[in-house]
């Protein structure tokens, strides 16, 4: 579950944003001052900060700058006036997006999701994956089966990594296409089959009876669970 920190001194806005974000499955923490918001960004590690510009305690701009020095947390800056946005963009605030008041909460949720998607694409998770006898090390771009190194293309690597991170979870061809292209186009899902076929040739001991990457008929593919 993604955690959103709202730093906003108008309780009515905080309330409505919280309710919209929670409805979309986000967990929400809030601060009504800049300085407490800054503290929470460091201690709570939110996935994204919705940051008001004019705040008591510490100005939103300073919060953004200080957070950026310490952590890589995406920030959406909320300003009182639409005219401020151009000025802010010129000031290296470190914000990933800007929204002006009054806003529709729906729009805010859409922007939150868009920024999170963008960040995920540019910073794929660097965590090592270990499942069955497969080890995937994103830093070294290395895949091992047992102690044997497998030479995968970048697309094969990305597909294997995303599935192996969630063994048993079924991915549609369309979802997998998004993994390798960033943006999926309807009708190109069959290219995934070609990638999977090549991946299996390198990964599987018997491609007719795949042990790691399973086909889910009519839907797509999944990585094997530990108990299979």
The residues of the shown chain that bind Ca ion, judged by CB under 5 A, are: 9, 52, 54
DSSP assignments along 104-134, one per residue: -HHHHHHHHHHHHHHHHHHS-----EEETTE
| Rg (the chain; Cα; Å) | 21
Q: Which is nearer to Ca ion, 36 or 54 (CB)?
A: 54
Query: Dihedral angle at the C-alpha atoms of 17, 69, 44, 103, nearest 10 degrees?
Result: 0
84 vs 165 by CB, closer to Ca ion: 84
Nearest-CB residue for Ca ion: 54
Smallest gap from residue 192 Cβ to Ca ion (A): 47
| CB closer to Ca ion out of 50 and 160 | 50
DSSP three-state, residue 30: strand
| Least Å from the CB of residue 105 to Ca ion | 16
CA distances from 109 to 14, 59, 119 (A): 13, 23, 15
Q: How far is the CB of 112 from Ca ion (least distance, A)?
A: 19
User: Which residue, 61 or 184, is less far from Ca ion as judged by CB?
Assistant: 61
Q: Whose Cβ is closer to Ca ion: residue 36's or residue 175's?
A: 36
User: C-beta of 131: minimal distance to Ca ion in Å?
Assistant: 46
Q: Which of 23, 21, 88, 69 is nearest to 48 (CA)?
A: 21
Q: Which residues contact 85 (CB under 8 A, 6 or more apart)?
A: 79, 98, 100
Query: Considering the complex, what minimum distance in angstroms separates the CB of residue 102 from Ca ion?
Result: 13
């Amino acid at each position: 579950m993604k955690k959103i920190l709202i730093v906003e001194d108008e309780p009515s806005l905080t309330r409505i944003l919280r309710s919209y974000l929670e409805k979309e499955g986000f967990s929400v923490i809030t601060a009504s001052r800049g300085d407490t918001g800054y503290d929470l960004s460091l201690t709570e590690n939110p996935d994204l900060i919705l940051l008001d510009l004019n705040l008591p305690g510490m100005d939103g701009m300073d919060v953004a700058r200080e957070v950026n020095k310490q952590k890589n947390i995406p920030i959406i800056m909320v300003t009182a006036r639409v005219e401020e946005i151009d000025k802010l963009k010129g000031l290296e605030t470190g914000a990933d997006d800007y929204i002006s008041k009054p806003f529709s909460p729906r729009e805010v949720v859409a922007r939150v999701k868009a920024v999170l998607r963008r960040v995920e694409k540019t910073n794929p998770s660097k965590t090592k994956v270990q499942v069955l006898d497969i080890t995937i090390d994103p830093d070294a771009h290395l895949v091992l089966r047992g102690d044997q190194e497998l030479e995968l293309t970048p697309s094969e690597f990305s597909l294997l990594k995303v599935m192996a991170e969630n063994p048993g979870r079924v991915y549609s061809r369309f979802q997998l296409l998004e993994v390798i292209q960033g943006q999926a186009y309807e009708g190109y899902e069959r290219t995934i089959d070609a990638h999977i076929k090549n991946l299996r040739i390198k990964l599987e001991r018997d491609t007719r009876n795949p042990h790691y990457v399973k086909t889910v008929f009519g839907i797509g593919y999944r990585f094997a669970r530990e108990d299979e």
